[in-house]
Amino acid sequence: MTKNKFNTNTKTKGFFPFPKYLFKTENHPIRLSTDKCSSAIEALFSPQEIQMIEGLTNSLQCDEREVIRIALYEASRSSSEAYEAAIDYSKSDSKERGHTARSTKGRWNLPKFEKDETAIAAKSLNISDKVFLRLAIIWLAKGIKDESIIRLTKSPRIPKDEVAMQWSRDNRDKPPSEAVKKLKDARDEAKALSDYIFEEKQYKSFKEYESNRSKPSDLRDQETQELFEELSDNESWEQSFLEENTEIDDIEFLIRCKMRQYKCDYEDAKMFVEGELEEMKQLAKMTPKEQLAFLKQKDLDETSCERAEKARKRELKKKHQDGLDAWQAKHDAREKTWVGYVNAYRLGAHMTGCPEPFPHLPNPLPKDYPIPDGWNPEHVS
């Protein structure tokens, strides 16, 4: 589950830009426990996983050992859910970003009963105690952050507005924080970028809807069928191409796709792909404010190009129509004869595969051939 990192849906969003997730854990069974912590559990952690533990101490408002015990307690009671959500990040050979290069050993004491419970839960999932320890921490940290976990055993989450109001009371009459101002500015810039992208998508969808609405239903159905066939054809081609070229890298594959899409040569497709990748690199280095300015300018340039292209197409269409009108006028001015009718009728029959319509007349028909008796005077062309 992916959530907006900004505090956008509360009454206090104006002065509290980022949500803070705190839990009332005073009544959690772990914090009420008086059992002696005579056993130990340990595992290796990455720097990002150590940061997760630090974040949990803030959210659960207790010391680090109690945080670890709470994580193990909750994960043991939701082992299947925790496994599904966090096993890819927790296993020793994980390739997930932020969960590699584990070099920091974490070791905590806990009651023997809790360690035994952990071992039982780990065995039921067919993983080691060390992996289960990481899994419990990662599952709880990620679940709190993405709001899939909003309540622990006898430990409800404090409402966001309540946290924000308490922060406001604690910081009343204090000078404005420069760090908070920067966070607010970052939030506003990111929101402006998000709003612009959303509005552009809406506008393009509306234009497409208006364009389709003006088309006859049979034409819309035909275009939908053609699009479906094109997508299916592309998918089939891509699969066949990758099966035949198992060693091809991603860039080369994109170039081949562009060649097929735009019917262009290799060099043009390569320039197109390199341009897109360079644009993505530029955007990645920009702040949200710079990205917004870049996208607006790009859309403005594309709009100008679209206008120029439409004007060019209108001119070509007019020129084509003028040529058709001139040809039609010249054609209409020619003398209509029965020979012309026969030749035109024969041409149509030939193109459609129909039998000879006038087998009793010579083919080709001489211009001075006498008109047959009883010829319909309306059959001239």
How confident is the model over 188-246, as pLDDT tens digits?
777 777 777 777 777 777 777 677 777 777 777 777 777 777 778 878 888 887 878 87
Strands 104-110 and 155-156: unpaired
Backbone angles phi, psi at 62, to 5 degrees: -150, 175
Q: Is residue 366 part of a domain?
A: yes
If asked whether residues 33 and 148 sit together in one domain, one would say yes
Q: Is residue 174 part of a domain?
A: no
pLDDT of 173 reads: 61
If asked whether residues 65 and 152 sit together in one domain, one would say yes
The total of other beta-carbon atoms located within 10 Å of residue 292's CB is 19
What length is written for the chain? Answer: 381
Positive or negative CA dihedral for 293, 299, 302, 307? negative
Listed in order, strand segments (DSSP E) in 114-214 are 151-152, 155-156
If asked whether residues 33 and 119 sit together in one domain, one would say yes
pLDDT of 5 reads: 53
The per-residue DSSP string of 2-42 comes to ---SS--SSTTTTT--S----B--TT-HHHH------EEEE
> pLDDT of the chain along its 381 residues, tens only?
445 554 555 554 554 455 778 899 999 999 999 999 999 999 999 999 999 999 999 889 999 999 999 999 999 999 899 999 999 999 999 999 889 889 999 999 999 999 999 999 999 999 999 999 999 999 999 999 888 898 999 998 888 777 666 666 666 666 656 666 666 666 677 777 777 777 777 777 777 767 777 777 777 777 777 777 777 887 888 888 787 887 888 888 888 888 888 788 888 878 888 887 887 788 778 787 887 787 777 777 766 666 666 667 777 777 877 777 787 777 777 778 888 887 888 877 777 888 888 888 888 888 888 888 888 888 787
The residue segments making up the domain with residue 358 are 335-381
Torsion-angle region of residue 126: left (phi > 0), alpha (psi -120 to 50) or beta?
A: left
If asked whether residues 150 and 223 sit together in one domain, one would say no
If asked whether residues 141 and 232 sit together in one domain, one would say no
Q: Is residue 211 part of a domain?
A: no
Q: In the listed set 141, 157, 173, which residue is the last one of a domain according to the structure?
A: 157
Query: Which residues are 157's β-sheet partners?
Result: 23
Q: How far apart are CA 89 and CA 78, in angstroms?
A: 17
Largest CA distance in the chain: 123
If asked whether residues 147 and 238 sit together in one domain, one would say no
If asked whether residues 151 and 33 sit together in one domain, one would say yes
Number of domains in the chain: 3
If asked whether residues 148 and 231 sit together in one domain, one would say no
If asked whether residues 142 and 226 sit together in one domain, one would say no
Residue 75 CA, chain-centre distance (Å), reads 31
Residue type at position 268: D
Q: Is residue 78 part of a domain?
A: yes
Give the pTM: 0.47
Q: How far apart are CA 135 and CA 95, in angstroms?
A: 15
Q: How far apart are CA 194 and CA 186, in angstroms?
A: 12
Q: Is residue 122 part of a domain?
A: yes
Q: In the listed set 89, 122, 157, which residue is the last one of a domain according to the structure?
A: 157
If asked whether residues 66 and 151 sit together in one domain, one would say yes
- Please say whether the beta carbons of 137 and 122 come within 8 A: no
* 364 cis-preceded (ω within 30 degrees of 0): yes
Tokens of 256: 């081949």
By CB neighbour count within 10 A (0-12 exposed, 13-18 middle, 19+ buried), where does 180 fall? middle
Q: In the listed set 157, 181, 205, which residue is the last one of a domain according to the structure?
A: 157
If asked whether residues 228 and 137 sit together in one domain, one would say no
If asked whether residues 47 and 122 sit together in one domain, one would say yes
Q: Is residue 205 part of a domain?
A: no
Q: Is residue 201 part of a domain?
A: no
Residue type at position 296: K
Q: Is residue 197 part of a domain?
A: no
